[in-house]
């Protein structure tokens, strides 16, 4: 079958292109409908030596994406991952099945702890992006508690009706 006769693949490609062109104008179109996708992620904390966790680690599945198409940003306790997977268009292809998502993506990943953004590291190998985020070390501080005790003594006449003191003393 010739590529120009593969109507379903051509129609799907045209629909995605139209969604990308008009998606912002129409608004409310989901990333899936625009041809985008949401990459799968794992978030965990590493505890070298079995002590307290020292860093958060995020693995993102980004196979087939050029490293230049990936952007990272740390906003407080969130890691924002954005980019674009480009389709491998070729006039020599006749598709039977199209399952690999492509297009723009943006994923906000909540982190369970404060991190040192300036010390973050990222590596990309075999389609997996690994982002290491050192945790903010809690500052231990001893606070001295000062006490000020004052005793107020009230004077009264013996004729005043006062309640009895505890223990039955008058």
Bridge partner list, 15:
none
Q: What is the pLDDT of residue 137?
A: 87
Q: What is the pLDDT of residues 24-41, one digit of tens each?
A: 555 544 444 445 789 999
pLDDT value of position 10: 66
In order of start, what are the domains of the chain with their CATH numbers?
A: 3-134 (2.60.40.790)
- Quote the mean pLDDT of the chain: 81
Q: What is the pLDDT of residues 54-102, one digit of tens each?
A: 999 999 999 999 999 999 999 999 999 999 998 877 788 888 888 888 8
- Render the burial of 99-122: b for 16+ CB within 10 Å, e for the rest: eebbbbbebebebeeebeeeebeb
Looking at residue 154, what is its pLDDT?
A: 67
- More confident call, 25 vs 21: 21
């Amino acid at each position: 079958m010739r590529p120009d006769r593969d109507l379903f693949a051509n129609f799907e490609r045209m629909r995605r292109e139209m969604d990308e062109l008009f998606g912002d104008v129409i608004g409310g179109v989901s990333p899936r409908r625009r041809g985008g996708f949401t990459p799968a992620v794992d978030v965990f904390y590493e505890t070298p030596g079995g002590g307290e966790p020292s860093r958060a680690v995020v693995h993102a599945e980004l196979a087939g994406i050029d490293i230049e198409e990936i952007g990272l940003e740390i906003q407080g306790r969130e890691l924002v991952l954005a980019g674009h997977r480009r389709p491998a268009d070729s006039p020599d292809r006749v598709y039977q099945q199209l399952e690999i998502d492509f297009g723009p993506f943006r994923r906000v990943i909540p982190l369970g702890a404060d991190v040192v953004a300036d010390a973050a590291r990222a590596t990309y190998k075999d389609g997996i992006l690994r982002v290491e985020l050192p945790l903010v070390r809690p500052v231990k501080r001893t606070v001295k508690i000062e006490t000020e005790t004052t005793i107020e003594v009230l004077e009264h006449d013996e004729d005043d009706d006062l309640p009895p003191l505890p223990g039955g003393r008058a």
